[in-house]
Amino acid sequence: MSYQHILLVTDLLSDADKVALKAKRILAGSPEARLSVLHIVEDDMVRFGFELVPASSLSGDFDGEHWQEARNKLAQFLERNELNAVNSEVNAAISNSKGIVNYCREKEVDLLIIGRHERRGIAAWLVKATADSILPNVPCDSLVVKLDQPVPK
């Protein structure tokens, strides 16, 4: 199968380069595919009745320090890994999972590449890995790259 639109999701932690390497290998076998890279920032949520909305979408604050830092890190990630993305975005969402699934649907992604940090003990019960929560809902093929323990930011 030949992929047309590949999405690489990154948390921009130090082991994200391992996931980028896998994406480069897939892209080498699908030269006609276009690559998008997505990073979701943590954003404060505002509640309107039963609905949660990212605060930045209401205030229009997409140029604050937090956003600029994320964009700079994403640009460095792309350059360091020599990734030629047709689209690279820093987005806010209610959750990483929801943001990724929505992006895949809206942009007609046919392959999602994401890393998964292993969790053990109580952390595995309390905090689910993003990859675990998106797989049942994502509308495309997925490549989950197994990573070691979470690394500091």
Residues 44-84: pLDDT tens digits? 666 666 666 665 555 555 567 877 898 999 999 999 999 99
Q: Could you list the residue range(s) of the whole structural domain that residue 54 is in?
A: 32-146
Distance, in Å, from the CA atom of 16 to the CA atom of 52, rounded to the nearest integer, reads: 29
40 forms beta bridges with 91
Q: Which amino acid would we find at residue 99?
A: G
- Count CB-CB contacts under 10 A for residue 71: 17
Q: Is residue 22 part of a domain?
A: no
Q: Which amino acid would we find at residue 143?
A: L
Domain with 55 in it: what CATH number? 3.40.50.620
Q: Which amino acid would we find at residue 18?
A: K
Q: Is residue 134 part of a domain?
A: yes
Distance, in Å, from the CA atom of 140 to the CA atom of 105, rounded to the nearest integer, reads: 9
Over residues 100-129, the pLDDT tens digits come to: 999 999 999 999 999 987 655 554 444 566
Q: Is residue 25 part of a domain?
A: no
Distance, in Å, from the CA atom of 88 to the CA atom of 65, rounded to the nearest integer, reads: 18
